[in-house]
Chain A
Amino acid sequence: MLSFKDIRQGLLVALWFIFLTFPLLVIKINPIENSVNWRWLNMVYVGSFSFLIYLITRMVMARKLERQKKIKLGLVKEKVAWSIKLFSQPRLYLPLLAAVAVFFLLFPGLFSTYQVNIMITALMYVVLGLGLNIVVGVAGLLDLGYVAFYAVGAYTYALLNMHFGLGFWTVLPIGGVLGAIFGILLGIPVLRLRGDYLAIVTLGFGEIIRLILENWSSFSHGPSGISNISRPGFFGIELSLEMSIVYMYYLTVLMVLFTIFVVNRLQDSRIGRAWFALKEDEIACQAMGIDKMKTKLTAFSLGATWAGMAGVMFAAKTTFINPASFTFLESAIILCIVVLGGMGSIVGVIVGALVLILMPEYLRAFSDYRMLAFGAILVVMMIFRPQGIIATLRRTYTVKGDLE
């Protein structure tokens, strides 16, 4: 299957990588002895590794092309994706769903507080991912400053709690509403832009919010942040630390369920269809009588609402926040969750969040290589499965009566 040309190309790729990594991995200068330590073995590793990787990619790609050709010629049927097979048969997915539900219900009883804490974080990212999914995955608006709304929510709770002693349950909706308001305020000027321009402006907005929080000390306590934020109240009963973590866990699970419910209903509605159509073709959408600005704005501000609520939960969970929690990296991670999981797919985003947040936690041994692995996974995914782990499927309708 591999031709001579592929092997020659592979050697070139290997050479290129050796050249790129040469100064870093081969030369090691010892400043004390004033000598250079040549690590030739590393060069061999880099060379053979990149050579092999290249050949494997070529093989996989060639096989994929072959398949596509055959499908075109009608020799083989297009494979139905496993995820579609799974979800089209209640017999298969109902037991799975039940197992997942039981697992999450019993989670705090089965695992240590440490694990529960990690799971809470992961579930919060599920909420964030689902929120951003409305904006990016469904409506196709590339928002790189999503974390700004998350920060708005978190600081809303922190400040209202500190100054006025307001509780979690009061502030949760306020955080959502403030997120929405910020979404609308930013959206009105910015949503006229398209694609990459929108991405840059939202990115800038995210940084502005973070810089304000960092520098407006009298308002936000600057880089040192706000501590001693109250945990969520439980009918006025004082909970032990452990119990309050378990409580927080169930709250987060509830929040995830609520989000799934709402996002699912939104997607399957007049508005949700309009969002998706807008992503497909703006001009055709307008010609169909859809108000472009209004529709984009609802998607954008609804996404921001969820970020705001997630922010409130985040502040309540950690009881301490500072601007360092709201860097661009956060936005990037949430975006990765959406893209990796599968744009527009609820299950995909959930799986994406769990994989991307839990994996690094349990691969702490390799913590030095975390970002490397992260990047590698994204690159590999985008090459081999650009539609994400679970691809979206449009709803089909059966109507009473017939389809002839």
Chain B
Amino acid sequence: MQPILNVQNLTMDFGGIRALDHLSLQVHSGEIVALIGPNGAGKTTFFNCITGIYKPTKGDLLLTPPGKKTKKLNGLKPNKVTEQGLARTFQNIRLFPNMTVLENVMIGRHCRTRSKIFGAIFRPPGTRREEEEIIQDSLDILKKIGLAQLANEYAKNLPYGAQRRLEIARALATNPFMLLLDEPAAGMNPQETLELDELITTIRDDGLAILLIEHDMKLVMNISDSIFVVDYGKKIAEGSPEEIAKNPAVIKAYLGEEIEHA
């Protein structure tokens, strides 16, 4: 089967530093793929390259949306990448703090809606309908994520775990077929992590593919279909959770981290 995301020999240099070194990775439809590695290994940089925030030095980024032709992501602006159906969250939460929870999700609907200045000022029926749909769709997503009762709260007032979930909700609002999550469990307590685990599986069951950066080994081993391990920008291992847990190179890279524990 053809992968929906096919990254070939991705290389990214920052001045003299090679943050990514000929990294290849594939994600297939409906899979949860984890990208793990020590701090500074280049995982976030990998996301930034795919989503157009950084321009990769070398390599190909190929995206095959379901039922569509393969498209090269290289050189696309971040908003165009999102339009292709690839949505992401950020390691350091980047919500719109002074907007309400609902509005945060409504922003996600932006790229799937059309009304312009004329519509904004004169509010013809089409615009009204669209606006109502935006609100309704956003609310539905919030319900699914379990944040509906906080809809009118400012994003900055949410507890940490809820903020991370809101980031996922906002990403889902862009109608992606693939979701990139950058350390979604960071800073969560075990209970919140467990709920996140469920949430991610539900999203996958809705038909989305998920590429996940995560430090929480237990979470990763639990839910991933395949795992890629990077260190110093290079891929050191790939395979199923069982294979990875046994891989000596991985154990060495994590030196002391309780990988077998999971």
Residue of A nearest to B130 (CB): A270
Which residues of chain B are within 8 angstroms of A404 by Cβ–Cβ distance?
143, 148-149
With A269-B120, A269-B131, A283-B94 in contact, do A288 and B170 touch (Cβ < 8 Å)? yes
Whether B120 lies near A280 (C-beta < 8 A) is no
Contact call A397/B99, Cβ cutoff below 8 A? no
List of B residues within 8 angstroms of A309 by Cβ: none
Q: How many residues of chain B get a CB closer than 8 Å to chain A's CBs?
A: 51
- Are A265 and B111 interface neighbours, CB within 8 A? no
Q: Given that A277-B96, A285-B107, A289-B111 are contacting pairs, would A397 and B102 also be in contact in the complex, using a CB cutoff of 8 Å?
A: yes
Check: A284 CB closer than 8 A to any chain B CB.
Answer: yes
Say whether B110 faces chain A, with CB atoms less than 8 Å apart: yes
Given contacts A273-B107, A287-B88, A397-B152, contact A298 B117 (CB under 8 A): yes
Q: Pick the residue among A272, A280, A289, A395 that contacts B96 (CB under 8 A).
A: A280
Kindly specify which of B3-11, B74-82, B254-262 makes contact with the partner chain: B74-82
Which residues of the other chain, A, contact B106 by a CB distance below 8 angstroms? 273
Q: A266-B121, A397-B135 are in contact. Are A291 and B79 (CB under 8 A)?
A: yes
Q: A271 near B120 (CB under 8 angstroms)?
A: yes
Beta-carbon contact of A403 and B148 below 8 Å:
yes
Residue B126 CB within 8 A of the other chain: no
A394 interface neighbour in B88, B94, B100, Cβ under 8 Å: B100
Judge whether A289 and B99 touch: CB under 8 Å: no
- Asked if B136 and A399 sit within 8 Å, CB to CB, the answer is yes
* Given A287-B87, A288-B110, A269-B82 contact (CB < 8 Å): no
- Verify B119–A269 contact, CB threshold 8 A: yes
CB–CB B82/A289 < 8 A: yes
Question: Which DSSP category, helix, strand, loop or mixed, fits chain B's interface?
Answer: helix
Is the CB of A396 closer than 8 A to any CB of chain B?
yes
B71 at the interface (CB under 8 A from A): no
Report the Cα distance A74→B92, complex, angstroms: 28
A-contact bits for B42-63, CB 8 A (1 contact / 0 none): 0000000001110000000000
Asked if A280 and B98 sit within 8 Å, CB to CB, the answer is yes
- B233 an interface residue at 8 Å Cβ cutoff? no
A270, A302, A396: which contacts B131 (Cβ < 8 A)?
A270
The answer, yes or no, to whether A292 is at the interface (CB within 8 Å) is: yes
| Per-residue B-contact encoding for A244-272, CB less than 8 Å = 1, 0 else | 00000000000000000010011001111
A286 CA / B96 CA spacing, docked (Å): 12
Measured CA separation A299–B110 after assembly (Å): 16
Q: Are B107 and A290 in contact (CB under 8 A)?
A: yes
Q: Which residues on B sit within 8 Å (CB–CB) of A285?
A: 107
B151 close to A (CB within 8 Å): yes
Q: Least Cβ distance of B128 to chain A in Å?
A: 11
- Cβ-defined contact, A269 with B107, below 8 A: no
- Within the complex, what minimum Cβ distance (angstroms) separates A283 from chain B? 6
Size class of the A contact interface (CB-based, 8 Å): 20 to 34
Is there a chain A Cβ closer than 8 Å to B160's Cβ?
no
Q: Are A283 and B53 in contact (CB under 8 A)?
A: yes
Nearest A residue to B111 via CB reads: A289
B185 at the interface (CB under 8 A from A): no
Q: How far, in whole Å, are A336 and B249 apart by their CA atoms in the complex?
A: 61
Known: A288-B108, A404-B148. A277 touches B99 (CB 8 A): yes
Residue of A nearest to B84 (CB): A289
- CA A388 – CA B8 in complex, angstroms? 52
Within 8 A of B (CB), among A372-404: 394-397, 399, 401, 403-404
Which residues of chain A have C-beta atoms less than 8 A from B116's C-beta?
A: 271
Find out whether the CB atom of B154 lies under 8 angstroms from the CB atom of A287: no
A17 contacts B by Cβ under 8 Å: no
Residues of A within 8 A of B170 (CB): 288
Name the B residues within 8 Å of A266 (CB-CB): 117, 120-121
Minimum C-beta distance from B145 to chain A (A): 12
Cα of A291 to Cα of B171 in the assembled complex, Å: 16
Nearest chain B residue, comparing its CB with the CB of A261: B121
B113 on the A face (CB < 8 A): yes
Task: Indicate if A274 sits at the interface (CB-CB under 8 A).
Answer: yes
Q: Which of B110, B135, B139 meets A290, CB within 8 Å? A: B110
Chain B nearest CB, measured from A122 CB (Å): 25
Min CB distance, B5 to chain A, in Å? 16
A205 within 8 A of B: no
Could you name 13 residue pairs across A and B whose Cβ atoms are closer than 8 Å? Answer: A270-B134, A277-B99, A281-B94, A287-B51, A287-B94, A288-B171, A289-B111, A289-B112, A290-B107, A394-B103, A394-B154, A399-B136, A401-B139
| Interfacial residues, chain B to chain A (CB-CB below 8 A) | 51-53, 77-79, 82-83, 87-88, 90, 94-100, 102-103, 106-108, 110-113, 115-117, 119-121, 123, 127, 130-131, 134-136, 139, 143, 148-149, 151-152, 154, 170-171, 173-174
Q: Name the 5 nearest CB pairs between A and B, nearest first.
A: A289-B111, A269-B120, A289-B82, A286-B78, A284-B94
19 A-B pairs besides A273-B106, A283-B53, A394-B99 with CB distance below 8 A are A266-B117, A266-B120, A269-B115, A273-B110, A276-B96, A277-B107, A283-B94, A285-B107, A286-B79, A287-B53, A289-B108, A289-B174, A292-B79, A302-B117, A397-B102, A397-B151, A399-B136, A401-B139, A403-B139
